[in-house]
Amino acid sequence: MKNKLLTLAVASVVFFSCNNNASDSVAKADSANSAKSDSTAMKTDSSATVQPSIKTDDTTSMFLVKAANGGMAEVKLAQLAKEKSKDSVILNFADMMIADHGAANEKVKSLAAERNVTLPAVPGDAEQKKADELSKKAGKEFDKAYVEAMVKGHTETLDMFKKTSAKETDVPVKTFIDNTIPVIEHHLQRIKDIKKGMK
């Protein structure tokens, strides 16, 4: 009876938290992962066979959700740049974003699957809003806004990766983070150089 009540309580929390953020895929993923974490804590040893092959904690789950969200957003904005920009330097940068973040996204998906972590299916509301704002711009106005978004996004991503690396205890996830940091640093330096060269 106790277990049924606990399960019902968790289900209620998940239901209400999902409905409060119904449109935000990041919030949905976080809610699903919290529910998994809560239900795992309630399970007994007899259910060990249904556990994911690699146990994970909230730090790792939250990082994978953020990394997936940021990576999808980078690819989406890069695809937008490929449609809207005429500047060959920006187009080359967008190609690099699609290739590098596309590869990183696949690795994040793999790490998440091994840990039974739910990832957002599409970029979150804030990232979608940024894409919508950029899609309304054209020409030099678009290029400037895209470059600004890339500088801001890569600065924030680099900070998040470095902070997570300092506390991450899951070795494969930490290895991914540490291998990706130099790539993000390269992207940030490249976009800062592009910004300096803009007229």
* 20, part of any domain: no
| Neighbouring residues of 22: CB distance < 8 A, sequence distance ≥ 6 | 28
- Cα angle 61-156-185, degrees, rounded to a multiple of 5: 100
Predicted local confidence at residue 14, as pLDDT: 36
* 173, part of any domain: yes
* Residue 137 pLDDT > 60: yes
User: Which domain, by its residues, includes 178?
Assistant: 56-197
* 33, part of any domain: no
* 51, part of any domain: no
* 26, part of any domain: no
Answer positive or negative: Cα dihedral of 93, 99, 105, 107.
negative
CATH number at residue 109: 1.20.1260.10
The mean pLDDT of 146-162, rounded to a whole number, is 97
pLDDT band at 128 (very low <50, low <70, confident <90, very high): very high
Express each pLDDT in 74-116 by its tens digit: 999 999 999 999 999 999 999 999 999 999 999 999 999 999 9
The percent of residues above 90 in pLDDT, for the chain, comes to: 69
Closest CA to 6 of 30, 32, 33, 41: 41
Q: Name the burial class of residue 58, with classes exposed (0-12), middle (13-18) and buried (19+) by CB atoms within 10 angstroms of its CB.
A: exposed
* 25, part of any domain: no
Over its C-alpha atoms, the chain yields an Rg (Å, rounded) of 19
Express each pLDDT in 173-192 by its tens digit: 999 999 999 999 999 999 99
Express each pLDDT in 12-35 by its tens digit: 333 333 333 445 766 666 666 666
* 76, part of any domain: yes
Provide the domain count of the chain: 1
